Amino acid sequence: MANDILKGKRGIIFGALDEHSIAWKVAERAAEEGAIFTLTNAPIAMRMGKINDLAAKCNSEIIPADATSVEDLENLVQGSMDKLGGKLDFVLHSIGMSPNVRKSKPYTDLNYDFFQKTVDVSALSFHKVMQTTMKLDAMNEWSSVLALTYIAAQRTFPDYSDMAEAKAMLESIARSFGYHYGSAKHVRVNTISQSPTRTTAGSGVKGFDDFIDFADKMSPLGNASAEDCANYCIAMFSDLTKMVTMQNLMHDGGFSSTGITAKMLGKD
């Protein structure tokens, strides 16, 4: 179902690790829709992941970058403009990582060095990406910057731990930077709040299988898949959503507006 809605557009896609990654699906769909883009990930993830396969499939080049390093980001953004032949029309920030979650630290006994790493990788990196593109004047007018988030920013999901704080900051950065980028350059900035999805990052959360099952039963449409999320990202990169900015967009099958469901009560 390709309609060339991103034809002629250039972008950067962060965070494709393997075929389960949401960013992987976005890259596949963006290529189908006629976009050209660079792929990037942290150097260590390059060695573990399968990004080369994706690059070959999408006819893309890979520029490694640790999203916490401004120097790496400058190299990535300038390199992307050079390789793609002009300024950018879209950026996907699809990055999340908490050492506290990885090491199963309880929320009431967090390691604060880890906490700062969580925030740096999962939230501050979004600001660093946009500050870099702004300083390099890398985004075209009406271009679209997106990050992926989760509803634990608004409601407590105990095992999501310090990622909840990181996501709250990420969403706030989208609003604050969205104001400045919109006023200065007509660049729009949004977050998409996605259903729980089976990926490397998602599966790191304790009790993930129960969690995904709960969300599915609590969503009138069921959980949104990574492919569904990719389609929404493509819509947000397209000119069809030109006036949407500074929003946290719920992409969750109705979960966020639902109090209780028949399925949850076992009456379905």
The footprint of ligand NAD (CB under 6 A) covers: 14-15, 17, 21-23, 41-42, 45, 66-68, 94-97, 121, 148-150, 194, 196-197, 199-202
Q: How many angstroms separate the CA atoms of 121 and 129, rounded?
A: 11
CB of 252 to ligand NAD, least distance (A): 9
Beta bridge partners of 192: 148, 249
Q: Which is nearer to ligand NAD, 36 or 92 (CB)?
A: 92
Contact 219/252 with Cβ under 8 angstroms? yes
CB of 5 to ligand NAD, least distance (A): 22
In the complex, which residue's CB is closest to ligand NAD?
Answer: 202
Q: Which is nearer to ligand NAD, 74 or 185 (CB)?
A: 74
Q: Which is nearer to ligand NAD, 18 or 185 (CB)?
A: 18
Q: Which is nearer to ligand NAD, 36 or 121 (CB)?
A: 121
Tracing tokens 């990719």 back to the chain, one arrives at 230
Q: How many angstroms separate the CA atoms of 27 and 57, rounded?
A: 10
CB of 94 to ligand NAD, least distance (A): 4
Which residues are CB-neighbours of 195 under 8 A, at least 6 positions away?
215, 219, 223, 224, 225, 229, 251, 252, 253, 255
CB of 41 to ligand NAD, least distance (A): 5
Q: How many angstroms separate the CA atoms of 246 and 151, rounded?
A: 16
